[in-house]
Amino acid sequence: METRHDGAVAVVAPDGSLIASSGDIDSPFFIRSSAKPFQAIVSQESGADLSPLEMAMACASHRGFPVQVALVGGMLAAAGLDESALRCPPSWPLGADAVRVVLGDGATEPRPIWNNCSGKHAGFLRACVGSGWPTETYLSPEHPLQRKVIELVSELGGYSAEPVGVDGCGAPVLRTTTRVMAHLFARLATEPRLGPALEAMHRYPALVGANGEGDTEIAIAINAAVKAGAAGCVGVAVEDRFGIAVKSWDGLGGVATLGAVSALDQLGLLTSTAAAALGPVARPPVFGGGGAVGHFESRLRLDMA
């Protein structure tokens, strides 16, 4: 028995021209955590003074592993702050192994620093300290930092990121479309201004996500920076070439990832070695009764512009 999952894919050049597409690429949705590279660049340009490792964490949806938590703690300490300054909700780590670690250490309740967006928030706070902006209200859409984020994303994509919503971590979440998101990632792939995010994400993909996760595995397999967002969106910045955006209208991250892998394959960007390495995320399993009972398979066919 087959279950169909619809989505949209756009491949866009740095000048905004469409290279290839599939599905409805112009319906709006919230970009969620796929916006983190652009949010991190605003933090950096606003005085955050992030090292490449810290930039990777500002772009991350981290899994709460000890190295990731330690880096976020160091980001805060460098600004004279601690975990109490974070306004993201307390959470348990996303990584199951990381949960076992903190439980083994005696943890009894979630913490803000374990929130998968705490690196982004630490970057925000570093920028506020660097620019002399208030830290207590850094998540307000009217805060100077968030206005700069909204302005940058709107300018890069040529599309208003407003009206904004509220993301799961409490930060303003930005409006986009599949076509616009691909343009954002095309500019990430090619513009020197955005280079610090591209370089950090491609150099440290396991910090941005985790080994075994779709965006991390794609960034390891090809010359690209990749960022997944909640509710089924993935952006791929193929260095010096173009951007790809995938949106699963069912909100399934695994479906968006396999769409991205299929698009890369149809664009001729996967060597046999890369294709083999991406096999587990290109055909993710479906589980039932305690085991795998099937798998997802892409039926994507790109229409070349």
Q: Which residue has the tokens 């046999």?
A: 272
Buried b (16+ CB within 10 A) or exposed e, 220-247: bbbebbbbbbbbbbbbbbbbebbbbbbb
Q: Is the separation of the CB atoms in 26 and 171 below 8 Å?
A: no
- The predicted pLDDT at position 1 comes to 43
The one-digit pLDDT tens for each residue of the chain (305 residues) are: 455 568 999 999 999 999 999 999 999 999 999 999 999 999 999 999 999 999 999 999 999 999 999 999 999 999 999 999 999 999 999 999 999 999 999 999 999 999 999 999 999 999 999 999 999 999 999 999 999 999 999 999 999 999 999 999 999 999 999 999 999 999 999 999 999 999 999 999 999 999 999 999 999 999 999 999 999 999 999 999 999 999 999 999 999 999 999 999 999 999 999 999 999 999 888 889 988 898 888 889 999 98
Q: Which residue has the tokens 């319906």?
A: 27
Taking the mean position of all CA atoms in its chain, how far away is CA 256? 12
Q: What stretch of H or E contains 125?
A: helix 118-131
CB atoms within 10 A of CB 268: 7
pTM of the predicted protein model: 0.96
- The predicted pLDDT at position 3 comes to 56
CA distances, 262 to each of 42, 66, 175, 302 (Å): 32, 33, 25, 9
CA distances, 263 to each of 21, 209, 305 (Å): 9, 21, 14
- The predicted pLDDT at position 5 comes to 67
Q: Which residue has the tokens 């984020």?
A: 149
Q: Which of 174, 186, 235, 205 shows the shortest CA–CA distance to 31?
A: 174
- The predicted pLDDT at position 305 comes to 87
The C-alpha angle with vertex 301 and arms to 296 and 302, in degrees rounded to 5, equals 130
